[in-house]
Amino acid sequence: MYEDFHVTDRWTGEDLHCRWVANVVAIATRHADAVDIRFDVSGRPVWIAMPCHAWVEQKKRTGNVITDALAAQVAGRYLKQAVESGYDNGREMYTMSVEEVLDHLAVVLHEAGHTSKLPTLMPTGDDAQPQP
């Protein structure tokens, strides 16, 4: 779905390859109350910051949690939409609001049908090890 996809840049027409790299709790790295989802976009790092409060709101509203795999899909969908709409201007970090997280999450869940049908997140760098 949105962990490894191609998208056409609205302004340049360039085909961009977007690939999930990692989920990082930003509290430790930049003292922010967020989870940063890192993508490689045709060779450049792009981070999508998702506020931790979105996890609280999702649990409160539905009783379900946002898993790492689901967070990556939500951030990937946001990134794809940003590129397609022309919002991507080469910045390294984008910050989602709680409502944006929950709106994209609803669409991802609708598209997937269930969290059990989400793709497994696998490291894809040169140091990636195949999983048994």
Specify the pLDDT at position 122.
Answer: 77
Q: Which residue ranges make up each domain of the chain? A: 4-116
Q: Does residue 123 carry a pLDDT above 70?
A: no
How far apart are the C-alpha atoms of 110 and 108, rounded to whole Å?
A: 5
| Rounded average pLDDT over 37-59 | 96
What does the buried/exposed string (b/e) look like for 31-66 if buried means 16 or more CB atoms within 10 Å of the residue's CB?
A: eeebbbbbbbbeeeebbbbbbbebbebbeeeeeeeb
Tell me the pLDDT tens digit for each residue of 78-104: 999 999 998 877 789 999 999 999 999
How far apart are the C-alpha atoms of 21 and 125, rounded to whole Å?
A: 8
Specify the pLDDT at position 132.
Answer: 42
Q: Does residue 41 carry a pLDDT above 50?
A: yes
Specify the pLDDT at position 23.
Answer: 95
How far apart are the C-alpha atoms of 7 and 17, rounded to whole Å?
A: 7
Q: How confident is the model at residue 130 (pLDDT cuts 50, 70, 90)?
A: very low
Tell me the pLDDT tens digit for each residue of 2-24: 999 999 998 899 999 999 999 99
